[in-house]
């Protein structure tokens, strides 16, 4: 039987990646789904570990070949998607899949997999805190930062479409809460 899906979504800067790493360190039945992207690598990122970095042409070819379970143009000319082969690779190992995925991609997966998926929205303490986190990263040019902030504002309105809203006011508390939640979901016999 194919495994379950744990979907963590949030606007950039909400803390979802940190929480995903925490869950991976605590729950050995989980394995991270590596997304494909057309964006350029950021410092320290590795192909095949953080993302599958592919050209826009290759990405569009994979769309035409129906190799993606979900995909979207996250920003203009920047695509992200989940390869069907990546999910199959993890399930063949007998593991459940954990996703660190943008909000719309997370909702697409939840819609497709229904009760096999637990969709968690990571809620930042406030929009101002989110903006501060994005700004303090120092990884984006001003126009890209403005684009991220605009997208984050929109994404925050999607929170109520997820199974659970995880408030990330205090990281240690959020991590403990989500670990219990995910462990209970994985322990359920029926999907």
Averaged over 124-141, what is the pLDDT?
77
Give the Cα separation of 5 and 188 in Å (integer): 13
Averaged over 61-78, what is the pLDDT?
92
The overall average pLDDT reported for the chain is 90
Residue 1 clears pLDDT 60, i.e. is over it: no
Please give the pLDDT value at position 144. 76
Q: Give the 3-state DSSP-derived string for the chain, with helices as H, strands as E and coil as C.
A: CCCCEEEEECCCCCCHHHHHHHHHHHCCCEEECCEEECCCCCCCCCECCCEEECCHHHHHHHHHCCCEEEEEEEECCEEEEEEHHHHHHHHHCCCEEEEEECHHHHHHHHHHHHHHEEEEEEECCCHHHHHHHHHHHCCCCHHHHHHHHHHHHHHHCCHHHCCEEEECCCHHHHHHHHHHHHHHHHHCCCC
Q: What is the model's pTM?
A: 0.88
* pLDDT tens digits, 168-185: 989 999 999 999 999 999
Please give the pLDDT value at position 84. 96
Residue 134 clears pLDDT 70, i.e. is over it: yes
Count structural domains, the chain.
1
* pLDDT tens digits, 12-66: 878 898 999 999 999 999 999 999 999 988 888 899 998 999 999 999 999 999 9
Q: How large a percentage of the chain has pLDDT more than 70?
A: 96
Please give the pLDDT value at position 138. 64
* Domain encompassing residue 39: 5-187
Give the Cα separation of 78 and 72 in Å (integer): 8
CATH of the domain at 15: 3.40.50.300
Residue 191 clears pLDDT 50, i.e. is over it: no
């Amino acid at each position: 039987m194919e495994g379950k899906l744990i979907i963590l979504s949030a606007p950039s800067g909400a803390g979802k990646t940190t929480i995903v790493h925490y869950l991976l360190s605590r729950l050995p039945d989980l394995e991270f789904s590596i997304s494909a992207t057309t964006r350029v690598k950021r410092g320290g990122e590795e192909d095949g570990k953080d993302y599958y970095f592919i050209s826009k042409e290759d990405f569009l070819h994979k769309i035409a070949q129906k190799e993606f379970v979900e995909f979207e143009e996250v920003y203009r000319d920047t695509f992200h998607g989940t390869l069907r082969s990546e999910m199959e690779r993890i399930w063949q190992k007998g593991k459940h899949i954990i996703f660190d995925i943008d909000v719309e991609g997370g909702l697409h997966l939840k819609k497709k997999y229904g009760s096999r998926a637990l969709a968690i929205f990571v809620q930042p303490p406030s929009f101002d805190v989110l903006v501060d986190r994005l700004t303090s990263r120092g990884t984006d040019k001003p126009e890209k930062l403005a684009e991220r902030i605009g997208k984050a504002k929109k994404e925050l309105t999607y929170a109520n479409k997820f199974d659970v809203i995880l408030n990330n006011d205090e990281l240690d508390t959020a991590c403990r809460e989500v670990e219990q939640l995910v462990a209970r979901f994985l322990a359920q016999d029926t999907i």
